[in-house]
Copies of this chain bind each other. A is one copy, B any other.
Amino acid sequence: MITMFSSQTYQKRRAALGKEMASGVALFMGNGETPYNYPANAYRFRQDSSFLYCFGINEPDMAALADFDEGIAYLFGNESTLDDVIWMGEQPSMADRANAAGVDNYFPLSALAEMVDRFMRQGRNIHYLPPYRGETRLQLFRLLGIHPDEQREKASEALIRAVVKMRLVKEPQEIDQIEQSMNTAYRMHTHVMRHARAGVTEQELAGAVEGIAAADGAVSFPVILTVNGQTLHNHYHGNTLRNGQLLLTDAGSETAMGYASDITRTIPVGGKFDERQRLIYQTVLNANLKAIELSRPNVAYRDVHLAVARVIAGGLQQAGLMKGDMDDAVAQGAHSLFFPHGLGHAMGLDVHDMEGMGENYVGYDDTVRRSTQFGLSSVRFGRKLEAGYVVTDEPGIYFIPALMNRWEADRKYEQFINYGALTAYRDFGGIRIEDDLLITPEGCRVLGKPIPKSVEELENICK
C-alpha cells in the first residue's frame, strides 16, 4: 500500500466531518480502474480525492459508509484472489486496509448494497458527493436507484459544504506533500528551460516533462507546453521551436499520495526576450508579484484578482494597447480581452481543488458571489482567504486573434482598447506566470524551491 498519513489522521478527519454533518449517512465511492481502450487496459489508477482524504486508501474498487449518528465507519472491498497475486503481486488484505484507515468494520463489496438498502429502509438520509465518472454513476444508479442524469443535482449540499470547508484548510502534513510535488515541478520546469532551443519539438519536451512527473507519481493534469500560449489550455504539441518564440509551459505533478503542484513559466526560445516581449513579460511578472504582496487572511481573492488586473491594464497602457482610465477599464472588464481568466484556484488533492463538487462551493461563499461579467465570471476563486488555504497565482496576457476579431467587430470597449495597435501583436502569443501560494497567518508564502521567473534568471538559464 502506498504510504499514507497515520490512521489517526483519517479518524480525526471523519470525526470532524461528523461534527459538521451532525446526522445522516454518507456514502463515499472510491474510484475503480478506468478503461483506456478495452476493459482490462486501464489508465493509471486515480483514487477519488475525497475518499482519499477521509480514508487514505489509494486502491481501486473500495467504498465506505459513515454513519454520523452512530459515529461508525464501514469499509467495503474485496480480498485478493490467487489470480490477483499471480498477475498483480501480493495485495494488502482488507484487515490491513481497514487498519490503515482507522476503521473497525469492513466487509466485501457485495455487502454494500445490502447495508445501503437497510439504511434507506430505516428512512436514513444517504448523502453522497457529485459523481464525475460514468462508472461511479452506474454504481450509484444500482445502489440508490437515482437516474445518472439526476445524480449531480441530487448530491448532498450539506456533505459538499462540510468536505469543502475541511479540505480548503491544509494540514501541515498536506503542505509537506505539496512541497514534495513542488520539487518535482521544479525539475520539470528547469528541464524545459535547459532544453528548449531552436529545432527541439514541443512533443519531445512535453514527453520529458511527463517522464519526470511519472518518476515521482504522475502529472496532475495534461501538460500544456506550447509556442501558442494564447490558447489557454493548448494540448497540441506538434510544433518545432524557433528562436524568438515564447514557450509557455503549464505543468505540475502529483505525489504518489495525490497532492498536486501547478506551475506556469513562459520562456524565450533562444535565451533572449525581445523588447516587446520583455515589456509584456515584466507586466505579467509584476502582476504575479502583486498577488503575492496582497494575499493574506481576510482579503477576498477576487479583490486580489482586480488589483492584479489593474497592474496588467497599466502595463498594456504603457505598451500603447489600452487607453483611458485604467481603474474604469478594469471595473468595466475591458482588460479581459487580454486576461480572460481568473487569477487562480484552490489546489490540494485536486489541482483545481474540489472543482468536481461545484466551483462555487469552493471559490465563493455567502459574502462573495460569482460575477456574470466576461472575464470576472471566470474567476474560479473569489472568496476571502484564510490561513491554510493553498491557491494558485497565475496572471497572464494573451493575444487571441479570434477574440480580438470578435471584440473589434463588436466595437467593444473602444474607449479603452487601441484596436489599431493590436495588429502588430496578432502573432505575439501569450504569457502566463503561475506560482502556488500558501496563505499564512501573516500573509502568504510561495511554495517550493523558487523556479526561475525574473527576466534575468530566465535569460540566464535558457540558452
Contact = CB atoms under 8 A, between A and B. Distances in A.
Interface of A: 34-44, 46, 48-49, 82, 85-90, 132-138, 141-142, 148-149, 201, 203-204, 206-216, 221-222, 228, 231-236, 340, 349-352, 354-356, 400, 402-403, 406
Contacts of A86: 231-232, 340, 400, 402-403
A89 B233 CA distance: 8
Q: What are the 8 closest A-B residue pairs judged by CB atoms, nearest first?
A: A211-B211, A134-B134, A207-B215, A38-B356, A134-B135, A207-B214, A89-B231, A210-B214
A137 B148 CA distance: 11
Given A37-B132, A39-B132, 5 more contacts: A38-B354, A41-B355, A88-B231, A89-B234, A207-B215
Contacts of A82: 402-403, 406
A133 B134 contact: yes
A231 B87 contact: yes
A167 to B, nearest CB: 12
A36 B40 contact: no
Contacts of A148: 138, 141
A216 B236 contact: no
Nearest to A34: B34
A351 B215 contact: no
Contacts of A213: 207
Contacts of A211: 207-212, 214
A402 to B, nearest CB: 4
Nearest to A403: B86
A427 B355 CA distance: 46
A34 to B, nearest CB: 6
Contacts of A39: 132, 355-356
Contacts of A234: 88-89
A203 B231 contact: no
Nearest to A201: B215
A88 B233 contact: yes
A403 to B, nearest CB: 6
A35 B89 CA distance: 28
A37 B350 contact: yes
Given A132-B38, A236-B89, A204 B210 contact: no
20 contacts: A36-B43, A37-B46, A37-B49, A37-B356, A41-B221, A41-B350, A41-B355, A43-B43, A82-B402, A85-B400, A86-B340, A87-B232, A88-B231, A90-B402, A133-B134, A134-B137, A138-B138, A204-B215, A206-B214, A207-B216
A231 B82 CA distance: 12
Given A35-B132, A133-B35, A215 B208 contact: yes
Contacts of A134: 133-138
Contacts of A355: 38-41
A39 B39 CA distance: 21
A217 to B, nearest CB: 9
A210 B42 CA distance: 15
A40 B359 CA distance: 11
A149 B143 CA distance: 13
A43 B34 contact: yes
Contacts of A350: 37-38, 41
